[in-house]
Amino acid sequence: MPHIPALHDAYQAQARIKPLIWQTPVIASPVLAEKTGAAQIHLKLECLQKTGSFKVRGAANKILSLSGEERKKGVITFSTGNHGKAVAYVAGQAGLKSVVCLSEHVAAYRVAMIKALGAEVSLKGHSQDEAEKNYQLLMASRGLVPVVPFDDPKIIAGQGTIALEILSKLPDTDVLVIQLSGGGLLAGMAMVAKSINPRIHVVGLSLEQSPAMLESLKAGRPVQVPEKDSLADSLLGGIGFDNQYTLPMVEKFADEHLLISENEIKDGMFHIFDKHRLIVEGGAAVGIAALLNQKINVKGKKVVALLSGSTINADEYIRIIQGRLPRGAKQ
């Protein structure tokens, strides 16, 4: 196994990224606690984070760690969503050039958000794979420095700072409920939590639609799963065939894995709107979905669930919420 990031790396990341991020609030959810029999349930609000998701933490830790030589070259990434926004934002703040490669099918609102943050957008190809090919070509021809979305020690340590913030406020946390896609988030948070208190129970939530990490854990190597659309688009995608860090770290640090369905995601989004007046994207709501549906045994436990982001188109959001209103489905 290559050198995996450790607690110390997360503390260094915390100091490094402080000027670029918010320390987001943690709020109590008495309704969910009552429903599940938990002693306490808290929600960590990374949906209020700069750029609309926690991804700014990893991107900031990576970009602010580059050498002077690398900074002059500028950075490049490919991402349809929150990682692309985070890289564009951090590069802009740090005075670096950034290029984000997207396929021609990416929703116009996402292209606009990334451009508005100051990145150069390169639109090419009809799939995520073709966008990745364009990224490889541009990286080589223009000498840009890659900033990958999850499989990088600096990205993982950056995401780990979320757990540092949670445990500084709630040091007797028993259970952490964390989204799982490429695994940078869970690897970082779980590594930090287990280093501080090995008894913390870490639950990872994957999509029924695209459980790439779970299939890879079963196979013992990175595997690709057929990709279907999901309301939780931030959780789609593979883990990379050359995965070095997140697969072994998730294997080591996650205690329990659950799959979440599309209907459960809608329930979770509605609950967060209805009980907390917060707008979150589908991928952020999976922890609430699992708790609401009593999929995790939290009786008597102190639980923290992460609301990971809020990047969603207004039309789509309103449709989902309206469909969950008592008579909204008929409209």
Ligand X SMILES: *Cc1c(COP(=O)(O)O)cnc(C)c1O
Q: Which residues contact ligand X (rule: CB under 6 A)?
A: 53, 55, 81-82, 150, 179-186, 234-235, 281, 283-284, 308-309
In whole angstroms, the minimum distance from the beta carbon of 63 to ligand X comes to 17
C-beta of 45 vs 186, nearer to ligand X: 186
Q: How far is the CB of 304 from ligand X (least distance, A)?
A: 15
CA torsion 161-58-63-109 (nearest 10°) is -140
Measured at CB, which residue is nearest to ligand X? 309
CB of 327 to ligand X, least distance (A): 30
Instruction: Give SS3 for 26.
Output: strand
CB of 166 to ligand X, least distance (A): 16
Q: Which is nearer to ligand X, 276 or 330 (CB)?
A: 276
**Which CB, 284 or 290, lies closer to ligand X?**
284
Minimum distance of ligand X from residue 165's CB (angstroms): 16
Residue 123, C-beta contacts closer than 8 angstroms, at least 6 positions apart: 102, 103, 104, 106, 111
SS3 44: strand
For the bound state, the minimum distance from the C-beta of residue 9 to ligand X, rounded and expressed in Å, comes to: 16
The type of residue at 6 is: A
Question: What whole-number distance in Å separates Cα of residue 105 and Cα of residue 192?
Answer: 37
For residues 41 and 47, which CB has a smaller minimum distance to ligand X in the complex?
47
φ/ψ of 4, rounded to 5, equals: -90, 150
Residue 123: DSSP 8-state: E
Instruction: Select 35 or 208, whichever has its Cβ closest to ligand X.
Output: 208
State how beta strands 40-45 and 26-28 pair.
Answer: antiparallel
Q: Quote the radius of gyration of the chain (alpha carbons, Å).
A: 19
Query: 24 or 234, CB closer to ligand X?
Result: 234
